[in-house]
Amino acid sequence: MKLRVSAVQYHLHTISSFEEFSKQVEHYIKTAEEFDSDFILFPEFFTTQLLSIGTKQGNPSTIQDLPDFTEQYLSLFKSFAVQTKKHIIGGTHVLRKAGHLYNVAHLFYPDGRIAEQSKLHLTPTEIKEWNMTPGEKLEVFETEKGKIAMLTCYDIEFPEIVRIAKAKGADIIFSPSCTDDRHGFHRVRYTSHARAIENQIYVVTTGTVGSLPTVDFMRANFGQAAVITPNDIPFPPRGIQVEGEMNQDMIVTADLDLDLLYQVRDSGSVTTWRDRRTDLYPDWLP
């Protein structure tokens, strides 16, 4: 099976209304639609752009205000997914549930369904500064183009959770990200490559670019989209199907062939998934 994916290097800048946000989102989605992409990935925390609108009193908004946009956010992305008949991973958005804040990735199906995956591993900033709560369960999602998982940014740095996603049948990990410097960016990027090699899967990742001068902890962004493959003969030698220009406002698109994954798992130069020593590390099993 073949499918096409697009990943958005979302440009964060100050806006004055939800309509501006909507038009920017529409621009990226229409671009991916012109490329006839099956999946469109937005980055982590890109909806923090809405905080730059500020309050009616003219005061800066905080992360506590972001859930107030949830209904508009869900309605907007659901309508785009239905209209375009695409699967849209709407980055992450902050939800409030039972008084707790969660960083949640959303999958918008072409038929109007919406699936959620809370971020499982939180960074110190998310915990100490934003008082967020981690998710408790990993989901693998069925689509008409195969099984996928959504593991957000820091999640991809933990090999165990990606092993479990692969064991549950995921062939593609979509990893929306948001990093503010080179160090954070390369942590996510290098571990994305490691997860693709270890599990013989595809990893599609992207990050925010630009700046939100009035939003705490979103003033600096360092990002690049990439479609990452295993490092074996059917794939590019560096394991990069496509990558964007660093820190530029753009969208990248690539074709993925699931049959190639199955081929290298069965008879590749190495067969890392099959060769696991589960007799030595059974805790890595789901």
Active site residue 153: yes
SS3 222: coil
Helices (H) and strands (E) in the chain, counts: 6, 14
CA distance 109 to 25: 17
CA distance 58 to 41: 32
CA distance 230 to 237: 9
Active site residue 119: yes
SS3 17: coil
Place of tokens 């709407």: 90
Distances (CA, A) of 66 to 28, 36, 56, 180: 22, 32, 14, 20
Contact by Cβ (8 Å): 94, 103: yes
**Which among 126, 153, 166, 243 is annotated as catalytic?**
153
Active site residue 178: no
> Could you tell me which of 104, 175, 167, 171 has the C-alpha nearest to residue 142?
171
**Which among 119, 157, 178, 243 is annotated as catalytic?**
119
CA distance 254 to 256: 7
Place of tokens 């499918």: 3
Give every CB contact of residue 118 below 8 A, 6+ residues apart in sequence: 102, 103, 104, 105, 134, 135, 136, 137
Indicate which residues carry an active-site annotation.
44, 119, 153
